[in-house]
Structure 1
Amino acid sequence: MKVYNFVLVGTTMCTAGEFSLNDLAGGAGRLDIACRFVNSCFFLSHSLRRNVRCYLHLLGEPEPPKTVLFEGANLRYLNPDERSAGSLIKKALSVDVGEGWARSTPGVYVSGMTFAQLIEALGSDFMVLLSEDGADIRTSRLSASDELTFILGDHRGLPAPLEQHLLERGVDKLSVGPLSLHADHCVVLVLNELDRLEAGWR
């Protein structure tokens, strides 16, 4: 089974578990975006995508950087609403971290690794930077890889130094369409393309 990794870089998202679940969009630094992103990575109509891993690389205050990993193969306690994902993120951000992965709840882990360390650790067959000015994803070689990684920014976009790091590594720059979309919508469109490929629809 192919493995799909999705990485969201949250430039303002809180990095400690001190925020209120009632204020994900404000006091938590737009963690509402991350919650919708997580849900879009995993939820089908009546099940979860078990071959997906979702990484939230958070750069906001007070303890950046932190990365929260949701691993579909082992994930539990995630329900299709923002508060559910927010609660799991909040618990993960309350765990003491180093550069390795510390387990928070089943299928949820947290690390203090840098962006460069995260990208190095992923090491997938095919890595993509999703960007409005990228090439059409439908012209890419997605079907040739067993593990694919898709990286995208939040409402502020990917910070320039991080984008430069990816481009220097030769990462492909692709787009899902001609319009500017929310991160969670991009995930749905990418997964639809992958589903179509797997089913032989294109």
Structure 2
Amino acid sequence: MRYFVITGHKALADGSFKLDDIAGGAGRADILARCVNSAFMLSHGIRKDAEIYLVFEGGDDSPKTVRINGSLVRYLNPDERSTASLLRNALLKKIPEGKEAVSSPGVFVSKMSFYDVIDMLSGKGSFVYLKEDGSDVRGFDFPENPIFVLGDNSDLTQNEEKALLEKGPSTICLGPVSLHADHCIILVQNEMDRRGL
């Protein structure tokens, strides 16, 4: 399995945003929607071996985490607006105390924070921190069940990075220039695909 954890530092957790304004009023939820497409979309299908955790940290109802599982998800289309609609519908669900709610097939929502997510995932694989000053991906030996962690249009906060570093992640970079979060996901997927992993 390939896991992805993306923190939306200003992305509104209450789902009150308009689909026409996901880049502004939604706190850059457009970035998270694009990350979903990069994690799952193939030319004629969906990656079944991927799971993404989107942490919405903006607004009074935060944090919330939307989890999407590639082997279970339905109604996922390649356009940003319909993906944002799936995310908004999840954020609007009533969440039972201490549990996940199912929003639609393969889409789940909980009150987990970034810290909760990495604690929960720590038994499922090995963390890989995507950071500009990391080791070059071209020489990196991918672990089994990698858990890729990255920020949205902002780096992880000092506290988030500290918590992640306590998990002993590998730290890799994908090239000599800064890239969008969704492009980073595509590049690590491609690198693993090329190696048959």
| Smaller-chain TM-score bracket | over 0.9
Give the aligned partner of residue 65 of structure 2. 67
Q: Does 1:83 align with 2:78?
A: no
Residue range with higher mean Cα deviation, 115-124 or 128-137: 115-124
Which residue of structure 1 lines up, in the alignment, with residue 153 of structure 2? 155
For residues 4 and 158 of structure 2, the distance between their equivalents in structure 1, rounded to whole angstroms, comes to 19
C-alpha offsets along residues 3-59 of structure 1, whole Å, 9 cap, x if unaligned? 000111000001012110000001100011011110011110000001100110111
Given that 1:100 and 1:113 are in contact with CA atoms closer than 8 Å, whether structure 2 keeps it comes out as no
The one-letter code of the counterpart of 1:141 is D
Correspondence 1:141 to 2:141: yes
Q: CA deviation at 1:138?
A: 2.1
Identify if the C-alpha distance between structure 1 residues 99 and 118 changes in structure 2 by more than 3 Å, giving closer, same or farther.
farther
SS of 2:184's equivalent in the other structure is helix
Name 1:197's counterpart in structure 2: 195
CA drift of 1:185 comes to 0.3
One-letter amino acid of the counterpart of residue 157, structure 1:
D
Pairwise CA RMSD: 1.1
Report the TM-score when normalising by structure 1. Answer: 0.93
More strand by percentage? 2
For residues 65 and 32 of structure 2, the distance between their equivalents in structure 1, rounded to whole angstroms, comes to 12
Aligned residue-pair number: 195
In 2, Cα distance between equivalents of 1:101 and 1:174: 31
> How far 1:198 moved relative to its partner?
1.0
Aligned to 2:9: 11
> What 5-or-longer segments of structure 1 have no aligned partner?
none
TM-fit CA distance, 1:157: 1.4
Find out whether 1:172 has 2:164 as its counterpart.
Answer: no
- Using the alignment, how far apart are the partners of 1:80 and 1:14 within structure 2? 22
- Report if the CA contact (8 A) 1:10-1:60 is conserved: yes
TM-score normalised by L of structure 2: 0.95
**Correspondence list, 1:101-120, <5 A:** 101-120=100-119
Identify the residue that residue 180 of structure 2 maps to in structure 1: 182
CA–CA distance in structure 1, aligned partners of residues 116 and 7 of structure 2: 14
